[in-house]
Copies of this chain bind each other. A is one copy, B any other.
Amino acid sequence: MRKTWSGSRVDLHIDLDASKGRRSALEAALRDAIRQGRLATGTLLPSTRGLATELGLSRGTVTAAYDQLTEEGYLTTRPGSGTRVADVPPNTPDSPSAAPMQARPRHDLRPGLPDVSAFPSRAWLAATRRVVADARSVALGAGDPQGRIELRAALADYLGRTRGVVTSPDRIVITSGYYQGLSLLSGVLVRHGAGTVAVEDPSHDVFRSVVQRARLATTPIPVDAHGARVDALTDAVDAVLLTPSHQYPTGVPLHPGRRQAVSAWTRTTGGLIIEDDYDGEYRYDRQPVGALQGIAPDRTVYCGTASKTLGPALRLAWMALPPHLVKPVVDARQQADLYTESLSQLVLADLITTHAYDRHIRATRLRYRRRRELLLARLPGVTGLTAHGVPAGLHTLLTLPADWPPEDEVLSLCARQGLALRGLSELHLDPRGRPGGLLVGFAAPPEHAYRPALDALSGTLRQLVTGPR
């Protein structure tokens, strides 16, 4: 039943069939008319009795609606002068509705992303049920800026067991992702007087800028076949950001002699090692090499994450810190955003202590190992490409032969085929004179989409070898 009241300067359409009830419908109609300027400031509204009669409503309904809108500031009531539209600025027209979600690329070979279709849904749900049932009265109360003790305890054990990290629950800090952790740590280092952080060249551009945004200078250390040239570190460097188990992006592990060298450097100069163990769980040819942190636990910040094992959307990462850095980092964390969401921390702690996390890692390790082999098996068909690094991680670096088109042309061609991958150049601090390359992630696609992605990749690359140039 649609009713219309023709006021002094406005037709008020009121849909009384609306499920929300007559009073709400009247309120909404008046609110909209005022916002849209159809009922202008100062307009005298009809008396409650008059409007009630006209609309076939009870007088109480109209009075209640007028009161509500007066309370909200849309109407004003002065004794003797009736109810008028208050001085409310008309609303600008609504902007267009939200942009659609960014479409997933047809062939998702971006490096650093896991296959989220392998997410252990069943185990996650079971753990969530246990967490919500057993501990709900505390799990959802205020959290801990350092991270839930349950997760810190589980991680101290897990990291010692699987990565040789020497730590304890009180030295671990949980952050909403490695990105946040590195950002907080960088801020703390600046406040402690640090000025320069050495970064691998090439290295992840996003994390270099996190360091730089904290007003730390970055100085490059070259990467060769034995990993980062840490022998180049001097006492002018306050900290070094390393990916020792699987250098990003070249995939080379840090040579034992270099591990010795960086350990000597930290002892001699007091410099800090920041170890980004971003995919330390994924080694395919042998038992993973333990974390560098183990040989210098009091001078190393060990950083790990669930982004590569479960998914980046969980925003769960951890740092095992030297004792003197724990409080400053926790304080910085609290100032930034108090603490990390507790529920998923408790769920992850449950997954680790019940070994469901280990089982998930083992299953995905097999899956990624097979995918890497499939990728490499395709490459001999493409002349001249060189695959780098050890069998590990979620991506492989392929450098382009000198006689190929430049990297950006190769990437454009890939993009036109729906292939999403990364170029090497932007990971160099200064890409001039460096060979181009492709970072091919082999983990991101769901199982059914991996072979088609490989077909598209090898087909596209073959065009570059055989096509007219």
Contacts and interface: CB of A to CB of B under 8 A. Distances in A.
Interface in A255-299: 256-257, 259-260, 263-264, 267, 287, 289-290, 292, 294-299
Contacts of A196: none
A73 B137 contact: no
Contacts of A92: 298
Nearest to A296: B89
A202 B189 CA distance: 36
A152 interface: yes
A333 B26 CA distance: 39
A117 B137 contact: yes
A164 B97 CA distance: 18
A357 interface: no
B311 A140 contact: yes
B343 A73 contact: no
Contact of A142 (B72, B139, B257, B312): B312
A446 interface: yes
B259 A72 contact: yes
Contact of A315 (B137, B171, B339): B339
Given A144-B101, A177-B337, A344 B344 contact: yes
A312 B73 contact: no
A312 B138 CA distance: 11
A377 interface: no
A132 interface: yes
Nearest to A184: B337
Interface stretch (A123-131, A218-226, A378-386, A400-408): A123-131
A454 interface: no
Contacts of A100: 149
Interface string A344-368: 1000000000000000000000000
A63 interface: no
Number of copies: 2
Interface in A68-126: 68, 70-74, 76, 86-89, 91-92, 94-102, 104, 113, 116-117, 119, 121, 124-125
A310 interface: yes
A396 to B, nearest CB: 21
A145 to B, nearest CB: 11
A4 B121 CA distance: 45
A294 B316 CA distance: 37
A141 interface: yes
B298 A138 contact: no
A76 B260 contact: yes
Contact of A169 (B72, B97, B336): B97
A183 interface: yes
A28 to B, nearest CB: 9
**Which 7 A-B pairs have CB atoms at the shortest separation, nearest pair first?**
A140-B311, A73-B259, A313-B342, A98-B169, A180-B337, A98-B170, A116-B140
Given A89-B298, A91-B166, A142-B312, 13 more contacts: A35-B294, A68-B289, A71-B256, A72-B295, A73-B256, A88-B263, A89-B295, A95-B170, A100-B149, A113-B141, A116-B141, A140-B310, A314-B343
Interface of A: 20, 31, 35, 68, 70-74, 76, 86-89, 91-92, 94-102, 104, 113, 116-117, 119, 121, 124-125, 128-129, 132-133, 136-144, 149, 152-153, 161, 164, 166, 168-171, 176-177, 179-180, 183, 213, 253, 256-257, 259-260, 263-264, 267, 287, 289-290, 292, 294-299, 310-316, 323, 335-344, 444, 446
